A and B are shown apart, each in its own frame.
Chain A
């Protein structure tokens, strides 16, 4: 089966420091890593390949240094890597990012499954995976914690929900996003690292994937960030202990005092 894994390169937040003066993140010199959730996506892709045959193609959209993320994925066992890299992509929001990624996937051609991480550790929206599925008009199952089985043209998975989990069956091709419960990613091997160093990385810009510059980058991004601020700190809360009847009365009094009732 042909599997496409979408990965994003993100700053390693475990080594991000906060500037004590400006109270903002110090981004300079912060190493980049593969988005932690995408490590689970890569691992799951490789496991499926090991079990069912086929190949794993990793795909990223990002600046030139995002190539490192692709090489790391190859060192873990991915077969091919495609880098969507073009200045025109700069400033893309989740809509533009998923639009460009889906155009890249169309150019790749036939596939059975797309695997994304649950969300990116920096952008955190969890929108890109679903966005790609919508663009490609294929089913999506998000927050997958286990792939139960792959049948002829279909996939059965467990998807986490607030109450527990759902077992979902879907036709293939489909897109899934995975949570960290799904597996334990392997560590890179020396042979993998050596292979990754020499691996050919395919680079595509907007011309290659045939997208209109107006649909990507800032021009293709309707999202407008009005303001960024830290939420105000919550006031300290006070636990109440006592008999239910007394507590209900106390609560009613307080609500009345606050003019809520």
Chain B
């Protein structure tokens, strides 16, 4: 369907599709198997300017927005939802800087990010604080011109590979959810090391790692926004980043649908191609309809964010929820259509199914998305009376 994308967005799709086909397709199975971070692809994405599509031109980007990012992530995820995450997670770590960074912070960090020379990570989750982000234990204590960070973050995407980390830590535990703050921490900062590297079900070409802070001294100029704004930074970041996760799910699903259609046309049973069976046709038709419905929602939300809509938390949650649940269903169905072959590693759909699962879990589980949506429903109705 024609979404009337700008010429620049069409170029982004074209370039991303070319990279996916020529550079990612040949290595995706291997990187998945070896759990290897895609540094060579990062270089290609960087040279093609894809790391800067949502960053302002004055900081070296191409001046697009969330929709531009979504298109790149979708197109790359069509071929590999693990490799595409190096870009999507960099954006997740960069939005706090775009939304809350001072001019000096932006000038210092954004150009390197836009160029793809520096990749970024976002660190909120801890072993005891997943959905309940307010339970984080990592602290940041002010000491003169520094904050001293102590604690351990868990399951951080791009962990160990990124050179810039946005870290949420408690500056004043007594103030509860108003006691958290967001910091920019550079990789080489003394007292900042990396722990366990996770062995995962899917998105295996993405690095997921523990971050360990032991008396890690970060200069006060690295505080993002104001002290106490940490969770606001996180929530506003998610409003902007969730369409990106949704786009990852969308791409994975589209990739699985493409594979299923191709296979169903080729595979013959009972003397004819299996696509001639109405049972298969109906599955494919449902899959395609769900994919398109997700795309329409994801693009609409991304466009709204880009046009400056700030009350977007509910719809942003909807896009992430709908597209990720859809991707799980569609990839499961794709495996079903490929039958036993779908279960084998020689075909890509088993990987797509493994990769799709994470999109229902991270950046807020889909249960959490539902609680966000429901809380807005309640608020909206209460406000009307």
Most chain A beta-carbon contacts within 10 A, residue among B8, B12, B44, B49: B49
B window 3-21: CB within 8 A of A: 7-8, 11-12, 14-15, 18-19
Mask: chain A, 185-211; 1 = CB below 8 Å from B; 0 = not: 011111101100100000000000000
Please report the C-alpha to C-alpha distance between residue A197 and residue B8 in the assembled complex, in whole angstroms: 10
Provided the pairs A193-B11, A194-B8, A194-B62 are in contact, do residues A187 and B18 lie with their beta carbons within 8 angstroms? yes
B50 at the interface (CB under 8 A from A): yes
Q: Which residues of A contact B7 (CB under 8 A)?
A: 197
CA distance A217 to B8 in the complex (A): 38
A183 to chain B, nearest CB (A): 14
Q: How far does the alpha carbon of A193 sit from the alpha carbon of B12 in the complex, in Å?
A: 9
- Could you tell me which residues of chain B, from 126 to 147, have a CB within 8 Å of some CB in chain A? none
Q: With the chains together, A194 CA to B7 CA distance in Å?
A: 9
Q: In this complex, what residue of B is CB-closest to A190?
A: B49
Question: A194 and B44: CB pair below 8 A?
Answer: no
A88 to B23, CA, bound (A): 42
CA distance A175 to B125 in the complex (A): 60
> How far is it, in angstroms, between the C-alpha of A189 and the C-alpha of B11 when the chains are bound?
9
In the bound complex, CA of A197 to CA of B10 (Å): 13
Across the interface, do A189 and B48 meet the contact criterion of CB distance under 8 Å? yes
What residue of chain B has the Cβ atom nearest to residue A191's Cβ? B49
**What are 27 A-B contacts defined by CB distance under 8 Å?**
A186-B47, A187-B15, A187-B18, A187-B22, A187-B23, A187-B44, A187-B48, A188-B15, A188-B18, A188-B48, A189-B15, A189-B47, A189-B48, A189-B49, A190-B8, A190-B12, A190-B15, A190-B48, A190-B50, A190-B62, A191-B62, A193-B11, A193-B14, A193-B15, A194-B8, A194-B62, A197-B7
- Tell whether B53 is near chain A: CB-to-CB under 8 Å: yes
Q: How far is the CA of A190 from the CA of B62 in the complex (A)?
A: 8
Q: Which residues of chain A in 150-200 are interfacial with respect to chain B, using CB atoms and an 8 Å cutoff?
A: 186-191, 193-194, 197
Across the interface, name the chain A residue whose C-beta is closest to B44: A187
C-alpha gap A190/B8 in the complex (Å): 8
A253 to chain B, nearest CB (A): 48
B:39-67 near A, CB below 8 Å? 44, 47-50, 52-53, 62
Inter-chain pairs besides A188-B18, A189-B47, 8 sampled, C-beta below 8 Å:
A187-B19, A188-B48, A190-B8, A190-B48, A193-B14, A193-B15, A194-B11, A194-B62
1/0 contact trace for B55-97 toward A, CB 8 Å? 0000000100000000000000000000000000000000000
Q: Which residues of B contact A197 (CB under 8 A)?
A: 7
A 113-156 contacts with B by CB, 8 A: none
Question: Chain A contact residues: over half helix, strand or loop, or mixed?
Answer: helix
Q: Within 8 Å CB of A187, what residues of B? A: 15, 18-19, 22-23, 44, 47-48
- B residues adjacent to A (C-beta < 8 A): 7-8, 11-12, 14-15, 18-19, 22-23, 44, 47-50, 52-53, 62
User: How many A-B pairs with Cβ below 8 Å?
Assistant: 35
B276 to chain A, nearest CB (A): 21
Q: List chain A residues, Cβ under 8 A from B12.
A: 190
Q: Give chain A residues whose Cβ lies under 8 Å from the Cβ of B44.
A: 187
Give Cα A6 to B306, complex, Å. 42
In the complex the two chains form, what is the Cα distance from A188 to B8 in whole Å? Answer: 13
Chain B residues, CB < 8 A from A189: 15, 47-49
- CA distance in complex: A191, B47 (Å): 10
Residues in B neighbouring A191, C-beta threshold 8 A: 49, 62
Determine the distance from Cα of A193 to Cα of B8 in the docked complex, in whole angstroms: 8
Q: How far is the CB of B115 from chain A (nearest CB, A)?
A: 11
Which residues of B are found within 8 Å of A188, using beta-carbon distances?
15, 18, 48
In the complex the two chains form, what is the Cα distance from A194 to B62 in whole Å?
Answer: 10
Task: State how many angstroms separate the Cβ of A95 from the closest Cβ of chain B.
Answer: 36
| Least distance between B24 CB and chain A CB atoms (Å) | 12
* Distance between B121 CB and nearest chain A CB, rounded to angstroms: 24
Give the residues in chain B near A193, CB-CB below 8 Å: 11, 14-15
Nearest A residue to B23 via CB reads: A187
CB closest chain-B residue, reference A188: B15
**Minimum C-beta distance from A130 to chain B (A):** 31
> Is there contact, CB below 8 Å, between A190 and B47?
no
Nearest residue (CB) in B for A186 is B47
Distance in Å: Cβ of B65 to nearest Cβ of chain A: 14
Task: Name the contact of A190 in the complex, choosing from B11, B22, B23 (C-beta under 8 A).
Answer: B11
Name the residue of chain A whose CB is nearest to the CB of B63: A194
Query: Please, how many angstroms separate the alpha-carbon atoms of A148 and B18 in the complex?
Result: 31
Q: In the complex the two chains form, what is the Cα distance from A208 to B330 in whole Å?
A: 59
Per the bound structure, the CA–CA distance linking A187 and B8 in Å amounts to 16
Q: Tell me the minimal C-beta distance from A17 to chain B in angstroms.
A: 16
Q: Using an 8 Å CB-CB cutoff, how does the interface string of A201-235 with B read, 1 for contact, 0 for none? A: 00000000000000000000000000000000000
- A47 CA / B182 CA spacing, docked (Å): 43
Whose C-beta in chain A lies nearest to the C-beta of B46?
A189
Alpha-carbon separation in the docked complex, A154 to B214 (Å): 60
Bound together, the chains give a CA A193 to CA B23 distance in angstroms of 19
Task: Give the complex CA separation of A186 and B49 in angstroms.
Answer: 13
Contacts of A186 in B (CB 8 A): 47
Cβ of B15: which chain A residues have Cβ within 8 Å of it? 187-190, 193
Q: How far is the CB of A93 from chain B (nearest CB, A)?
A: 34
Q: Determine the chain A residues whose CB is within 8 A of the CB of B8 once the complex forms.
A: 190, 194
What's the minimum C-beta distance from A32 to chain B, rounded to whole angstroms?
15
Q: How far is the CA of A197 from the CA of B23 in the complex (A)?
A: 25
Q: Cα distance A61–B15 when bound, in Å?
A: 26
B167 to chain A, nearest CB (A): 30
Q: Residue of A at shortest CB range from B48? A: A189
- The docked-state distance in angstroms from the alpha carbon of A194 to that of B11 is 8
- Within 55-107 of A, Cβ neighbours of B (below 8 Å) are at none
B14 contact set on A, CB distance < 8 A: 193
